[in-house]
């Protein structure tokens, strides 16, 4: 791994004064070569410790078992910093499909939704199940040119789950602006390694258990101030009130003026975890993570080419080899965890991975 250093970022350990090898050794303890972050990220030790404290308190009936909204607030603010938007533009929830479902439920009858063929189902299906919407699927590369008058929304993953392709978000945003369409970007396979500004899109949705290294149950919706009134807060409960503790009984008199009006009741253990993982990521810095991850991916793509294999081209740390899904079990027997998706053998490289991990996988594939 690299040994670069720099100015300390906010959050926890002075990670920028350490090599990424030191950070990985301090925070992670994988029992095998783990190249499967695109499915689920490893838990840092500090994050696992926070989960254990929560669980122990729940067993003992401690006050901390009730959960802390301070952790939700901290995670909300950290996600906002990561995505370049104020905390007031971030709503917290439990799953990407729930956030997308909120957007889908808010569209008028007959609205056209443009999406990419083969995108992750949570980005597409909430619109499909509304039979009164017009869902049009086109190849990812044709998404921007397929926007037309009458397109109400473009929904796309920033990075494709199956093969790691990165969407041309600037072109999509420009086409949306030209035709008066709104944009929804799923950053689940991007946030944590790819620098993004959520304020460039009407809505973003992000699961917190992949590149953000938390656990299932924490997810994030960002809504621009201009787009906020386009959404109906269909699952608004007391936590969505401007004064939550004054909104616990009867109708909520005033919804939060910020994106918090779209909050779900939090799965506290997930946010206790997320608070710690965000501190680690911020301590390293997304730009540094991006450089490390993409360098490893480039090494892997070059090695695959030497073996006569043709991975999906690009610069994403998600690298998929079409037609090689059948090798996933062979790779697993060698102690390397990857995944098989849509006929591809998919490997994903995060900051806890090293060049040795890349070479180990290439050695197995060469055999």
- Percent share of the chain, pLDDT over 70: 95
DSSP, collapsed to helix, strand or coil, labels residue 116 as strand
* pLDDT over 60 at 241, yes or no: yes
- For tokens 């999906």, the residue is 312
Indicate if the pLDDT at residue 180 is higher than 80: yes
Does this model's pTM top 0.85? My answer is yes
Tell me the domain boundaries of the chain. 15-44+285-366, 64-282
Using pLDDT thresholds of 50, 70 and 90, give the confidence band for residue 4: very low
pLDDT over threshold 90, residue 3? no
| Owner of token pair 């838990």 | 43
Q: What is the pLDDT of residues 37-96, one digit of tens each?
A: 999 999 999 999 999 999 999 999 988 778 889 999 999 999 999 999 999 999 999 999
- Read off the pLDDT of residues 268-289 as tens digits, 9 standing for 90 and up: 999 999 999 999 999 999 999 9
Q: What is the DSSP string of 128-191?
A: HTSTTSEEEEE-GGGTGGG--TTEEEEEEESB-TTT-PBP-HHHHHHHHHHHT-EEEEE-TTTT
Q: What is the mean pLDDT of residues 172-188?
A: 98
pLDDT above 80 (res 134): yes
Give start and end residues of each alpha helix (H) in the chain.
Answer: 20-27, 45-60, 69-83, 96-106, 121-128, 169-179, 268-284, 286-306, 328-333, 355-366
pLDDT at 161 over 60: yes
Distance CA 279, CA 90 (A): 17
16 pLDDT band (50/70/90 cuts)?
low
**Whether CATH 3.90.1150.10 fits 15-44+285-366:** yes
Give dist(CA 294, CA 168) in Å, integer. 17
Mean pLDDT value of segment 301-309? 98
The closest alpha carbon to 187, from 207, 173, 202, belongs to 207
pLDDT at 136 over 80: yes
pLDDT at 162 over 80: yes
The pLDDT value recorded for residue 15 is 57
Q: At what angle do helices 268-284 and 45-60 cross, to 10 degrees?
A: 160
Across the range 7-27, mean pLDDT stands at 67
Give tens-digit pLDDT for 318-357: 999 999 999 999 999 999 999 999 999 999 999 999 999 9
- Given a cut of 60, whether residue 8 has pLDDT beyond it is no
- pLDDT for 301 equals 98
pLDDT band for 17, please (50, 70, 90 cuts).
low
pLDDT of residue 295: 98
- Is the pLDDT score of 14 beyond 90? no
Q: Is 273 exposed, middle or buried (0-12, 13-18, 19+ CB in 10 A)?
A: buried
Decide: helix, strand or coil at residue 241: strand
Mean pLDDT of 226-249: 96
Average pLDDT over residues 183-190: 98
- Provide mean pLDDT across the span 217-231: 98
User: Whole-number mean pLDDT of the chain?
Assistant: 94
Q: What is the pLDDT of residue 66?
A: 83
Tokens 């959404």 label which residue? Answer: 231
Residue 367 pLDDT class (50, 70, 90 cuts): confident
What pLDDT does 20 receive? Answer: 93
* Residue 9 scores a pLDDT above 50: no
Phi, psi of 98 (to 5 degrees): -65, -45
Q: What's the CATH architecture for 64-282?
A: 3-Layer(aba) Sandwich (3.40)
């Amino acid at each position: 791994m690299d040994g670069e250093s720099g100015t300390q970022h906010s959050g926890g350990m002075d990670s920028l004064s350490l090599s990424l090898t030191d950070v990985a050794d301090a925070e992670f303890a994988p029992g095998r070569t783990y190249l499967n972050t695109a499915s689920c990220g490893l838990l840092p030790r500090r994050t696992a410790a926070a989960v254990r404290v929560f669980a122990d308190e729940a067993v003992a009936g401690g006050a901390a078992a009730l959960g802390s909204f301070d952790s939700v607030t901290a995670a909300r603010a950290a996600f906002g910093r990561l995505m370049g938007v104020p905390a007031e533009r971030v709503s917290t929830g439990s799953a990407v499909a729930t956030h997308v479902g909120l957007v889908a439920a808010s569209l008028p009858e007959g609205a056209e939704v443009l999406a990419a063929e083969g995108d992750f189902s949570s980005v597409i299906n909430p619109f499909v199940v509304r039979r009164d919407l017009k869902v049009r699927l086109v190849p990812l590369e044709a998404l921007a040119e397929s926007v037309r008058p009458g397109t109400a929304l473009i929904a796309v993953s920033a990075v494709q789950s199956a093969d790691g392709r990165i969407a041309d978000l600037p072109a999509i945003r420009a086409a949306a602006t030209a035709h008066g369409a709104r944009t929804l970007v799923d950053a689940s396979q991007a946030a944590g390694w790819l620098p993004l500004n959520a304020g460039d899109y009407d809505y973003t949705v992000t699961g917190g258990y992949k590149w953000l290294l938390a656990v299932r149950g924490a997810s994030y919706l960002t809504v621009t101030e201009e787009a906020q009134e386009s959404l109906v807060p269909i699952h608004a409960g007391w936590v969505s009130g401007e004064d939550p503790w004054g909104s616990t009984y009867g109708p909520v008199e005033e919804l939060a003026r910020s994106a918090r009006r779209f909050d779900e009741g939090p799965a506290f253990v997930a946010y206790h975890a997320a608070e710690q993982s965000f501190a680690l990521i911020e301590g390293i810095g997304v730009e540094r993570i991006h450089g490390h991850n993409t360098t490893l991916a480039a090494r892997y793509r070059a090695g695959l080419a030497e073996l006569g294999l043709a991975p999906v081209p690009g610069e994403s740390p998600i690298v998929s080899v079409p037609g090689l899904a059948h090798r996933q079990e062979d790779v697993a027997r060698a102690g390397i965890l990857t995944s098989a998706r849509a006929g591809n053998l998919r490997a994903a490289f995060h900051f806890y991975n090293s060049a040795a991990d890349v070479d180990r996988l290439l050695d197995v594939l060469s055999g």
